[in-house]
Amino acid sequence: MYDLIIIGAGPAGITAGIYAARKKMNFLVITEDIGGQAVWSSDIQNYTGYQFISGADLVEKFREHLEQFKVNVNKNEKAEDVIKDGDHIIIRTNRGKYKTKTLIIASGRTPKEMGVKGEQEFKNRGVTYCATCDGPLFADTDVAVIGGGNSAMDAALQLTRIAGRIYLIDIADKFQADVVMAEKVKNDPKIKIFHKTRVKKIYGDKLVEGIQIEEEGIKDLPVQGVFVEIGSVPVSDFIEDIKKNKANEIIVNCRCETSIPGIFAAGDVTDVFSKQIIVACGEGAKATLAAFEYLNTRRFADE
C-alpha cells in the first residue's frame, strides 16, 4: 500500500516526485519514459533560470534532481486501468497491480497522427513525430513538416541546420504559431510554405520517397522524411470514470483535484490553461502538496 503513486515522468510527474520525496511520502512513479514531450524541444528560452537550454538537457537536469532523492521509478511500465475501491485506488499496468491511497495522473500527451494512406506503413521508415530525436537521420535530404503550430515551426527551424529542402505543409490559411517563430520560418530560404494544403498519402518502396498533396489540384513532392507536427492528444484513456472535457483532457480545479476524491492530475493531460513546461512543473508541485494534505486530513479504513 502506497501513500501516493504518480503516473508519468515528464515535467509534471518529475516535479511531483521531487515534492513527494521531500515530504518523505511512501510513493512510486510509474512511467513509460523519462521526460515526456519536453525532451523533444530543441530551443527552450522561457524556462526561469535558463536563458537557453535544449529540452534534452533540461530533462537531464530534472532526472538528476529526481535521482538525488533515490526515488523508486518503474520505467517502461504503462498504466492500463485505474479503479477507485473504497478508500483506496487500484492501478493495473502491463506489469502488475498496485494499491495506493492517493494518485497523481501526470501521463502527458502523445502526438496526433494524420490518418492518411502510408502513414502506418512508413512509421520509422521516413515518417516520424520528433524532429529533435530523428532529425539527424535526414541530413542533406528533402523533407516535409506537417503542421502550422509552434511544434511545426520548431521542427522546421531545427531541420534547416540538417536537411536540404524543407516543405512546410499547413492545412490552414495562416500559421497558428507564435509570431516570432512564424516570422523566422517565413524568412528562411530553405523552407517552402504550403498553406491551405492537405496531405493525401505518403508513398515509397522500403522507405519514404514522397508525399502527395492537394493544393489547387493534386501534386507530388519528392521527400525522404515526413515530420508530423499537428498537435497531440492527452494520455487519459486508462481511466474512464473521471470527468474529462471534449478534448479528453482530465478536468481539474486549482488544487489539481479531479472528480474522484484522492485522484489528482497535473500537466498536459489536464485541461489546465497553456501547455508549457514551466506550467506543468508548477502543477506537479501543487498536485503533490494537495495529495499530502488529503492524506493528513482523512482517516483510511486500514488505519
Q: Which CATH number does 113-228 carry?
A: 3.50.50.60
* Distance (Å, whole) CA 280 – CA 108: 9
Give the model's pLDDT for residue 192. 97
Give the model's pLDDT for residue 51. 83
Containing H/E element for 295? helix 277-296
DSSP E strands in 205-300: the ranges are 208-214, 218-221, 225-228, 232-234, 263-265
The cell numbers describing 122, all together, are 512508413
Helix residue ranges per DSSP H, 41-149:
55-68, 131-134
Q: Which CATH class name applies to 2-110+232-296?
A: alpha beta
Identical topology for domains 2-110+232-296 and 113-228? yes
* Distance (Å, whole) CA 264 – CA 63: 22
CA 125, chain centre distance (Å): 22
Q: What are phi and psi of 101, to 5 degrees?
A: -85, -30
Give the model's pLDDT for residue 119. 96
- Ranges of residues in the chain with a pLDDT under 70 are 40, 42-43, 302-303
Give the model's pLDDT for residue 298. 87
- Residues classed as catalytic: 130, 133-134
**Of 56, 98, 67, 69, nearest to 81 (Cα)?**
98
Per-domain residue ranges of the chain: 2-110+232-296, 113-228
Q: What is the pLDDT of residues 62-102, one digit of tens each?
A: 989 988 888 899 999 999 999 999 999 999 999 999 999 99
